[in-house]
Structure 1
Amino acid sequence: MIKLGQLNTLRNQIFLGFMFVMVIVLATVGYFMYDQVSVLLRNSAEKHIQQTAIQATGKLDELIRQINTLTAQVATNASIQRLLAQEVDGKQISFTERQTIQQEVRKYEAYSTGIRSIELYTGDFRRLLPLDDTSLSSRVSDEWISRVDRGKGRLVWFGLDPRNSDVVIAIRNIRLIDRSFMKAGYIMVQIEKSYFQLTDEVDGTQSETRELMSLFDETGRTISSDFSADVDGNTILDHEGEKVTVSGEDYIVVQKQSKATDWRLVILTPVDYTTEGISVLRTAIIVSGIVGSLLFLVFTFILSTMITRPILNLIKVMRGARFGTLIPISSVTSTTMEINELNNTYNQMVHSLNELIEVVYQKEIIQSRTELKALQAQINPHFLFNTLEAFYWSLDEKGEEELAQIVVAMSGLFRYVINRSDEDEWVTIGDELDHAERYLKIMEMRMLDRLTWRIESDEACRRVPLPKLLIQPLVENAILHGVEQKVGPGTVKLCIKPSSRLGYTMVMVTDDGPGMDAAKISSLYSAMEKGRTNSTKGTGIGISNVERRLRLSYEDETDGLEIRSEEGQGTTILFEIPNEHREGTET
């Protein structure tokens, strides 16, 4: 029993416990990895196949975009627009004018590749180019024409030409730009199938993995393909993600669909490509398990020793202590934070009473100093107000009425801001407008003739309550980032009016400054969302702080700040608040 008790030590428990857990973990992971390795490798190969499909689809979309751009340029050509407008007006296009159209179209064909022909038709399906009398309705089906009309000017892809399986057809409406995009005709483009050959563009992937690639239109007909002649494309399309056999070899089917054309790209990858390397990985797992077990044994032994040795030393020191003669053990150190903390706690027990007295004494001193600093930090605002009033009377006696009015405005501005009573946290819109007017008067004197301003408010709206200092920061922002950034004089307008939402009031600040682009507006919204400001100019509260206070004060009763601006068109910042403040929403 004594021997068993001696073995039941913390060190042995840590060592055996870690070893037991490690054996279970290694056995479970090894079995799972051995059982699932083929699946993991197949998934990795499928990711590679998906990447190949994405690259091929990207190439296809680029080819389609080029055709779309070309047909758009032809459809918006000035000469074609003018002649088709003439046709809409009832004046039939002459043969000479059709030759002119032909010359214009040939210019576009000269700079394009893969296009066999471009055909133009009038709104009543008469052919303008080539120079014959074939109609569009005899060329394609009525269902195709209806799809083009529903496309409203978009290029509609139809896959292979029913009359010629070597070309692909796409059709779009020609709409008159100067006549509210009225339908005036059709443009049909015939593209060579070779134009959509994608295999050689995917970084040589096919030569490395023996992949086969084929492109099908929306009806399942083959546009381009690497498949052998005996492969049924329709059968392949029905086996997405499954295994198929082609020419005696097993392949995995992967499909990608083009959003622009609804065509499907099918890639066949050999199954043996997805499973190669299994034996190598299995060997690596076994070797890694053995090496990991050995390393874990060594490190577990070292770790258990590092943990238990300082504890044993601490026990020896504590056993050497006698009642009434507690001995500090500062000589016992360890790299483990918990052991050091235990040592420090034991040392502190010796002087616990003195330390408690010292702590209480220090707290009393700190509290007294804090109260004294708080008392010293209290500034009597009446001294500032009385000084400004003395300035006012002095300037008034000297006939400096304008400067005297500015001093009065400054006194009102400071009185409004410095007053810190809790009941003044919420004010009326009228109070905010008076404060904003004083600020604008001061800025008008500073900027001279560069600033003009006006305040428009509905009388009923002036009694609506809102948090203090919510409007003036927006006015300050309009001057700093609007008027001051503009060459020449600028205008700031502050408008308060009832909102279109029943029971709400709209506050709107507008400047005629340089405005902002969409990227700048987006960055401002992002900054407001993060609760900070991107502004590096001025020391005002900032629109981010206004946004945060709106959200805290009204919660879901407000949509926050809205920014409307265009480059060179000025900026408007507005928000809507309820006319009645609901108790309990203030934060």
Structure 2
Amino acid sequence: MGMLVKKWTARNTLRKQIFLGFMLAMVIVLSAVGVFVYHQVSNMLLDNAERHIQQTAAQAMGKLEVLLNQVSTFTTQVVTNAVVQDAFEQEADGRRLSFEGRQTLQQVVRSIEAYMSGVRSVELYTEDYRRLMPLTDDQLDSRVPKAWIRRVDEAKGQLVWLDLDPRYPDVVLAMRRVRLMDRSFSYSGYVLVQMEKRYFQLKDVEMAGDYGGREYMALMNEQGQVITADFPLSDDEARRLLSEQETISLADGEYLAVRQRSPATGWNIVILTPVAYSTESLSVLRTVVIVSVVVGTVIFFIVTYILSGMISRPILDLIKAMRTARFGALRQISVSSSMMEINELNYTYNEMVRSLKELNEKVYQKEILQSRTELKALQAQINPHFLFNTLEAFYWALEDKGEEELAKIVVAMSGLFRYVISRKDEDVWVTIGDELDHAERYLTIMKMRMMDKLSWQIEVDEPIRRVPIPKLLIQPLVENAILHGVEQRLEPGTVILRVKADQRPGCSRIEVLDDGPGMDEEAIKRLDEAMDRGALSDQPGKGTGMGLVNVERRLKLYYGSSTDGLTIQSQPGKGTKVAFVIPNQRGGGTDEDDSDRG
């Protein structure tokens, strides 16, 4: 074991630093996250518990309001019944209701009462407190206290919940005034309803949580008397439930008390929740957090060990590969590191860079030489003396026959070939005016071949005609516009050659536009990739063989970073625009004339 530890600490390797660094960072992160999560979740649990208890109380209060409204609707049905109204109108006129009338009245009320649960009895009284039903001679002022009667009078026809029945403690009393609808709603008596306590049971209200069946609910009046409760309560405990204490001690433990007061009755709904449930939840949460941190640390230990090997192994392989490579063009790295692998990587990389610089310079010179050779090989394909003599003979023969149009075409061809086949090294650079004249000769020849299908325009700012430019940069773009633009149309087409000052000071912009079928974004993308690779994009058998790719290569060769190369803008059915920007100074002021260097 000691030898293993000594071997592990012998060298400061990248894998060791990754492993130790990751483990230290993860232990810190897991610990911080565990503490934060425990604090946040514990607060959230307490808040949720409180919200749930409040929600339970609100649900219970809603259930109570529904029950109260049902009783109010029931009493309204009683006092608005036609038979009841007729009986009270007769009493209001001073005519006592007969015994048979009282029996009929009782039958009608009993039929309405049959559809209402929880009603023990309904009593009707006249304005002078005489009872109409049941069939006894009790007086209202002897049945309930006069203070209750005054409360009903002040309610102006609204149902008033009084209190527990003095005669029957398991009954709750409610009373309202009777108003005669046919006599401008004048008062004419009273209706007293006896509701059994069981009617107010709220057990079907869904509790906030399951705490072992120890969450209780009680409904109490303002005097602290229990109307209904789902647990036994002593008188002392009942009084303490209405106090302002947040926690209540009962026989089986401590409870958190939440109270809701009914504005209609003044009764209170009290919900008791065990205080211990919060500490039980936090205990479970604490255990979960600790187990999560431990398991996370073990898992990350294994993953980090594997990951550190995966990271360091490719670097070692790269070092071996770089030791055998000596090509490319990269800068040297002077960064030093305390890790053995990185130091070895830097040393090998710097050795490779020195070789790449030498090789890159050679490749650059060879590419310039190859570009010149390709151009001169094209120029040497035709014997200039034979070609010019032949074209001159054609010209004079056509003049003798009066074929002036054909003679002009021959002159244009002669000028075109003289421009292309020149052997002088100093002719590598010409002016934009020379390039435009050459393009115009080419367009004249193509006009003869395509007849009315081709029309063209040349727009140029005169001062720009004197700007130097490498030979044969513009004509290939015009050729491309005709071959891939105008010739692809069924109807006549137009080519526009526009030369103007660019937005950048000291630069000129050359644009070639056609109204051909255009290209979609995918085709433009493929063309850009072809120019980046340096592969020819022209179709076999068409054009001069230089094409857009060669123009792009020559722009980069002669101007370097002073130009962005060719830009292509096109949309299907809307034609194509190919443009490039060059500095007004020869070579952009950054490179010497290639002919001079040759």
> What TM-score do the two structures reach when normalised by structure 2?
0.45
> What TM-score do the two structures reach when normalised by structure 1?
0.46
